[in-house]
Structure 1
Amino acid sequence: MNDEHQHKLTHYTAAFIEELVGNGVDEVVISPGSRSTPLALLFAHHPKVKTYVNVDERSAAFFALGIAKAENKPVVLLCSSGTAGANYYPAIIEARYARIPLIVLTADRPHELREVGAPQAIQQIDLYGKHVKWSTDMALPESSPSMLEYARSSAVRGVGVSRAHPQGPVHYNFPFREPLIPDLKQVEYSDVKRGKRVIHGDLQLPSTLKNELQTELMESERGLIVCGPGVSQDAVQSIVEFGECHGLPIVADPLSFIRSGNHSKENIMDCYDTFLRIDELKEVLRPDLIIRFGAMPVSKALMLFLKNSPDIPTWVVSEGEDWQDPTAKGTDYIHCRESLFCKSFTSHSFSNEHSWLHRWVGVNNETKDLLLKGHQEWDEGMAVHQLLHHLPEGSTLFSSNSMPIRDIDTYFFTNERSLQIYANRGTNGIDGVVSTALGMSTKAESMYLLIGDLAFFHDLNGLLTARKYQLDMTIVVMNNNGGGIFSYLPQANDPNHFEDLFGTPMDLEFAHAAKLYGAGYFHITSQEEFIPALQEADQRQGINIIEVMTNRENNVANHRNLWNFVSREMVNKVKGDYLDSFSE
C-alpha cells in the first residue's frame, strides 16, 4: 500500500470524524460495504462513538431516524457506493419533513470512475435533491493543513445546518480511491473540548410586532390554540400558561406532548376529532382567532373545521422558516421560538369570565363521557384504549400511521403520567415504522409500538437489529388482514376491485416471524386475553409481539356507530340549550 496515500486517507477522514464528535455527534448506523471502509473503520476506532451495523439500508436509515428523534440530535448514517444510498431515500424524506437531524454519508468512486461504466457506481451528487437541507461532494483525501481544516469545517457546517431550525438531514458524498484501508495506528483522537462549533441564538419577537399582535389578541373574544406534532417539549408549559392566561382552549394533537405530563390540563381539548364532526356544534365553536404551533394535527375533522371556516386571523408560529400551512388559511407567519412567543403575552390577562373556554371544556368533557359509554364492543379502538391505559409510567409509545394513530387520537385522554407518543408524521408513510421505533428503543426505558399488519410486514427486516443488539420493545400488531383505513374511504363502495387494490389481504401468520427473529409471541382473539398478554410481555426481555386479530368490516361499523351515537346525544343536548349552561 502506498504510504503517502494511506496517510492522506487516514488523517483527512479522521479529522472529519473528530470534528463531528466534538460537536456532539456520537452515534453512527453503518450499512456494510467496501467503498465506505475508511469511514467505517475510523468511526469504529473512535472511543466515544457508538456504532450500529444494519445490513438492510432502508431499515438502517429508519433506525438512525429513530435514534435522532429520541435524542433530538444528529445521528450519522453511513453506506457504500451505488444503490445503497438510494435505499436511504424514504427515511431521508421523512427526516426532512419531520424536521429530524441526520448526517448522511455516502461513499463514492473517485471522479475518474464516475459515468464510465465502473461497477457499483451511480450518479450520487445531489442524490437526495431538495430532500436534504445541504449537500456537498467532498474533495478527495489530502493531508495538508488547509485540507484538514477543510474537512473539519465541512463537518461542523453540516452539524450546524442539520440542527438549525427547521432541523433536517444533510448529505456528504465522499469519493475514495483504493486502497481503502486507513492506518489506525496513526490516529489518536484528541479530547479537545473546544473546537469549531455553530451557535444558534434564540428567535425573539420584535417589540413593534408584539404590540400589534397584542392588540389583536386583546380584541379577540374567541381565540383558539392548535398544537400539532413537532411542538418543542420545552415550550409545553409556556403554551399552557399562555392559554390559561387568556382563556383559550388548546386543541392538542396526541403527538404534541401536551395531553400528558404534570402541567395543568384544564384548558386542553382531547376529543375534538369526535365533536368537530357534528355540524350543529361547529358554528357555536367557531373561533375569531387561531394560533397554531407545530405541524397540522392528525385529525381530519379538525383540518376541515379550520379549512372551511370563514376568513379568520390565523397565526402560524414556527421556530424555523418551514411552511406548515396546508389549509392556506394563515395570515401571519411568525418565526419565533415558541416558548418566547408565549411568554411575550402571559403578563396580561384580558378576561376573567372565560365563558368561551368553558364552552369548549363542557363539550369536550361530555364527548369523552359519551365515547366511553358508547364504545362497548371489543375491537381495535377498545384495544388501543386499553393499551394506552396500561402503559407504565415513563413509557414511550410509537404509533404507525393509518388507523393506529387515529385511534390514539380518539382514546389518548389527558393524564398526569409521563408518557411520550411519537409517529413518523413527516410524510405519513407506513415504511420503516418498526426500525424507527427500535431506534427510539435504544433511549427509552419502556418502549411500545402500535402498528397494523401491513406496516409490520413492510418492515419485518427491522427485527434483525433488535435481535443483534438485544433491544427491548413490545409490539402490538392490529391484524385486520389488510389496509383498514381504506375501508373508511369512498373506494370501499366498489365491491368488485376494493379488496384487490385497497384491502390487500395478506393472510400472514406473524408467529412465524416471531420465531425467525427470536421474539416472544402472543395471539389475541378476545378482550380477556389482551391485558394479561401485555402484563406478561412487560416481564420478558427482548422483543415481544402481541398480535391482535380484528375484523375490518366490524371495526368500521363500530367506529361509525360510535360517532353516530355521540352525534345524536350531543345534538339533543344542543337543542336543549345545553351549550348555554357552559357560560353560566
Structure 2
Amino acid sequence: MSPLSTLPLGPRTVVVAGDDAGPPPRVLAQDGGWPLLAEPTSGARTGDHALRCYRLLLDGELGRGIERVVVFGRPTLSRPVSRLLARADVEVLAAPGRGAWAERPFPIAGTVDRETRPAGRDDPEWFGAWVEADRSLGRQLDALLAAEAGLTPHEVAGAVGRAVPPGGLLYVGASSPIRDLDLMARGYAVGDRRKVIANRGLSGIDGVVSSAIGAALGRPHSTRSLALMGDVTFLHDAGGLVLGPGEPEPDLTIVVVNDDGGSIFSMLEQGAPEHVEQFERLFGTPHGVDLAQLCAATRTPHWRVGSVGELEHALASPNGGIEVVEAVVRRDNRRDLDERIRRLVP
C-alpha cells in the first residue's frame, strides 16, 4: 500500500501522535488546520495545535463528530484513543510503525509518511471548536483540582511538566503518572527540544529508577533531568538509588507521587463498588513505607511536600546529584475524582 502524498480536505480530521512520533504530525496538523492529539512521549506535543484535554473531549460531542484520523507513532496511552481507532465510521490512515513493534493493532484504510501533506488548510470552524472546548475544559479542570482538599496527583504531574526547561529531560513511570501528565501537560514551544520518555507495557513498573538514572547519564547535555513516578514503582526499584563506588551520578530530581498503594486500579474495573471488600489487599496494596527513612538509608536527599506551592519550591531548588521529592496525595478519592473530571465534558 503506497503512502498518500497529499491528503484531500473535507472529512473532519484529527491527527494522533503516539509514542516516538516526532515532529511530522505537528507539521501535518498545523498545515491542514487540524487538532493534534499528542501523547507526552510523542515528541509532537508542541505548537498551537496540540490539545491538552483531548482524551476527555474524545468521549464528547466533538469526538463523536470525527470522520478521519491520521496516526503517527505508537498510541498506547488511553482507551478513548483506542476506541476512536476501532470505530467503523472513522477512516484511519497511518504512518508505518518503526522498530520492533511495527505492526498496527488497528485496521487502517491507507498509509501516509513523514512527507505527506494536506491539499490545503481545512475549514477553520472544526479546529476552532476543538480549541475553544479544550481551553474551557482546561479551566474547569484546573478549578476542580484547586478546590480539592490537599494535593492531587494531577497537580503533581502538571507542576513537574512545567519544571522541565527547554533542552530538559523527563522520565515518567507507567500507570497513573504518565496518564496524569497527558491530561495536564500543555504544548511546549516548537524547537525547545524537551525529551519525554516513559515506561510502557506489561513490565512498565520494572527498573524505572535505574532507567531514569541511565537516561540522565546518557543525555549529559540536558539542561535539567527529572523523573516522575508512583510510590509502588519507586519501591519496586529503590535499589537503583545505590550506586557503586566510583560510578557516575547524574543531577536528577525524582518526584514520587505517594498515595500508599496502586491508585490506577481504582479507576479500572477492579475498583468498582462491588469489589470493595477485596480491593485493598489485591489491588490497592498499601505498603506504609517511610520514604524519608528509605532515602536516608541510601544517603539520598529527600523532600516531603503536601501542596502545589511546596512542590514548586522544591522543584525550583535542585541540590545537584540524585534527590527525591515525595509528593503526598490521597488515594481513597481517586475513583470519585476521575469520575468528576470525566463529567466535565458536555
Are the aligned partners of 2:58 and 2:81 in contact in 1 as well (CA < 8 Å)? yes
Q: Indicate which of 378, 383, 391 corresponds to 2:156.
A: 383
> How far off its partner does 1:501 sit?
0.8
Matches within 5 A, 1:256-275: 256-260=42-46, 265-275=47-57
Are the aligned partners of 1:294 and 1:317 in contact in 2 as well (CA < 8 Å)? yes
Residues 283/466 of structure 1: CA separation in 2 closer, same or farther (3 Å cut): farther
Q: Which runs of 5+ in 1 are unaligned?
A: 1-205, 572-584
Matched, 1:369 2:147: no
Deviations 1:198-236 (A, max 9, x none): xxxxxxxx9xx45xx357x3264322211100213xxx1
* 2:212 corresponding residue in structure 1: 437
Secondary structure in 2 aligned to 1:478? strand
Q: Which structure has the larger Rg?
A: 1
* 1:276 corresponding residue in structure 2: 58
Are the aligned partners of 1:227 and 1:297 in contact in 2 as well (CA < 8 Å)? no
> How far off its partner does 1:283 sit?
2.3
* 1:562 corresponding residue in structure 2: 341
> How far off its partner does 1:488 sit?
0.8
Q: Indicate which of 229, 253, 265 corresponds to 1:451.
A: 229
| Distance across 2 between alignment mates of 1:455 and 1:497 | 22
Secondary structure in 1 aligned to 2:310? helix
Residue type matched to 1:423 in 2?
Answer: A
Residues 411/320 of structure 1: CA separation in 2 closer, same or farther (3 Å cut): closer
* 2:120 corresponding residue in structure 1: 349
| Distance across 2 between alignment mates of 1:562 and 1:245 | 32
Matched, 1:358 2:128: yes
Residues 354/429 of structure 1: CA separation in 2 closer, same or farther (3 Å cut): same
Secondary structure in 2 aligned to 1:551? coil
Secondary structure in 2 aligned to 1:268? coil
Are the aligned partners of 1:456 and 1:477 in contact in 2 as well (CA < 8 Å)? yes
Q: Indicate which of 34, 37, 51 corresponds to 1:248.
A: 34
| Distance across 1 between alignment mates of 2:127 and 2:235 | 44
Residues 528/253 of structure 1: CA separation in 2 closer, same or farther (3 Å cut): closer
Residue type matched to 2:177 in 1?
Answer: P
| Distance across 2 between alignment mates of 1:472 and 1:222 | 45
> How far off its partner does 1:355 sit?
2.6
| Distance across 2 between alignment mates of 1:358 and 1:428 | 40
| Distance across 1 between alignment mates of 2:54 and 2:297 | 42
> How far off its partner does 1:323 sit?
3.8
Residues 404/320 of structure 1: CA separation in 2 closer, same or farther (3 Å cut): closer
* 1:400 corresponding residue in structure 2: 173
Residue type matched to 1:315 in 2?
Answer: L
Residues 556/461 of structure 1: CA separation in 2 closer, same or farther (3 Å cut): same
Residues 440/220 of structure 1: CA separation in 2 closer, same or farther (3 Å cut): same
Deviations 1:321-358 (A, max 9, x none): 744433x2222356xxx43x33xx35x4264x433222
Q: Indicate which of 9, 14, 17 corresponds to 1:224.
A: 14
Matched, 1:520 2:301: yes
| Distance across 1 between alignment mates of 2:5 and 2:223 | 43
Residue type matched to 1:252 in 2?
Answer: A
Are the aligned partners of 1:487 and 1:503 in contact in 2 as well (CA < 8 Å)? yes
Secondary structure in 1 aligned to 2:170? strand
> How far off its partner does 1:301 sit?
1.8
Matches within 5 A, 1:289-308: 289-307=68-86
| Distance across 2 between alignment mates of 1:320 and 1:563 | 33
Matched, 1:548 2:327: yes
Residues 331/437 of structure 1: CA separation in 2 closer, same or farther (3 Å cut): same
Q: Indicate which of 95, 102, 110 corresponds to 1:332.
A: 110
Are the aligned partners of 1:480 and 1:551 in contact in 2 as well (CA < 8 Å)? yes
Residue type matched to 2:155 in 1?
Answer: M
Deviations 1:144-198 (A, max 9, x none): xxxxxxxxxxxxxxxxxxxxxxxxxxxxxxxxxxxxxxxxxxxxxxxxxxxxxxx
| Distance across 1 between alignment mates of 2:97 and 2:333 | 43
What is the TM-score of this pair, normalised by structure 2? 0.87
| Distance across 2 between alignment mates of 1:471 and 1:226 | 34
* 2:185 corresponding residue in structure 1: 412
Secondary structure in 2 aligned to 1:269? coil
Residues 428/406 of structure 1: CA separation in 2 closer, same or farther (3 Å cut): farther
Q: Indicate which of 479, 486, 500 corresponds to 2:281.
A: 500
* 2:292 corresponding residue in structure 1: 511
Residues 559/350 of structure 1: CA separation in 2 closer, same or farther (3 Å cut): closer
> How far off its partner does 1:312 sit?
2.9
The structure whose RCO (Cα within 8 Å, separation 6+) is larger is: 2
